[in-house]
Amino acid sequence: GQQLNQSPQSMFIQEGEDVSMNCTSSSIFNTWLWYKQDPGEGPVLLIALYKAGELTSNGRLTAQFGITRKDSFLNISASIPSDVGIYFCAGLYTGTASKLTFGTGTRLQVTL
Amino acid sequence: KAGVTQTPRYLIKTRGQQVTLSCSPISGHRSVSWYQQTPGQGLQFLFEYFSETQRNKGNFPGRFSGRQFSNSRSEMNVSTLELGDSALYLCASSSGTVKETQYFGPGTRLLVL
């Protein structure tokens, strides 16, 4: 099945550092969503983006909907140990109803 | 509001058996989507139900089926289980409106032996 290109695949950073990850697609989307998943649990929604060029923040998280509608970026500022997990982007094109297409995931590990 | 609930959380089956998984969406949500997550393929869309009708379907064989009840609860059935069906099965609920956001349940971990 299709997966979006998400990079980096994994990151090992120190507490307090900023983190950036991105997601690209060959298709356009109307909605971009960013999720975090802890082991053995379902993805938890972090940020939703509905408009090209939109920049949205949720605490230390900031995400942007690319103007081409084919990419999105997630930044985490001043990382803390509980940021550890796998981050997924997901694209949604309303013409395909509720079918989310997910990225390959970015595994984030934070050290003290 | 209570979140999305899935039962059971863990399941062990043997090849050839069938299994039924259940999902209760967030109150008021009419859309339920199912996804399969495996290390090799990541998160893949199975199907979506809205108001008791299958509205969208992914590229999975006919052994995978589902249904939705009038209270929006949904079930997913896998018949003639194969080893490769071992995965985390996730359901997500949404309102089904234009500004759509999907909220996931904790998943059902299925192991096929």
The stretch B76-88 carries a mean pLDDT of 97
Tell which residue, A85, A87, A63, has the closest CA to residue A4: A87
Cα B63–Cα B73–Cα B80 angle in degrees, nearest 5: 15
Amino acid at A60: R
Average pLDDT, chain B: 93
State residue B99's pLDDT score: 62
pLDDT of B54 > 70? The answer is: yes
Interface of B with A in 73-92 (CB under 8 A): 88, 90, 92
Looking at residue A103, the DSSP 8-state letter turns out to be: B
d(CA B10, CA A58): 32
Q: Are strands A31-37 and A44-49 parallel, antiparallel or unpaired?
A: antiparallel
Task: Name the residue among A42, A43, A100 with its Cβ closest to that of B45.
Answer: A100
Query: Minimal Cα distance from B32: which residue of A?
Result: A98
Looking at residue A92, the DSSP 8-state letter turns out to be: E
Q: Is A102 on the interface with B (CB under 8 A)?
A: yes
State residue B19's pLDDT score: 98
Q: Are A44 and B104 in contact (CB < 8 Å)?
A: yes
Q: Which of A85-99, B38-52, B98-112 has the lowest mean pLDDT?
A: A85-99
Q: Is A73 on the interface with B (CB under 8 A)?
A: no
Structural Rg of chain A based on CA atoms:
13
Query: Minimal Cα distance from B5: which residue of A?
Result: A42
Task: Name the residue among B55, B56, B58 with its Cβ closest to that of A1.
Answer: B58
Chain A residues within 8 A of B8 when measuring between CB atoms: none
pLDDT, one tens digit per residue, over A62-112 is 999 999 999 999 999 999 999 999 999 999 876 655 678 999 999 999 887
Neighbours of B78 (CB within 10 A): 25
d(CA B82, CA B16): 7
Confidence of residue B48 (pLDDT cuts 50, 70, 90): very high
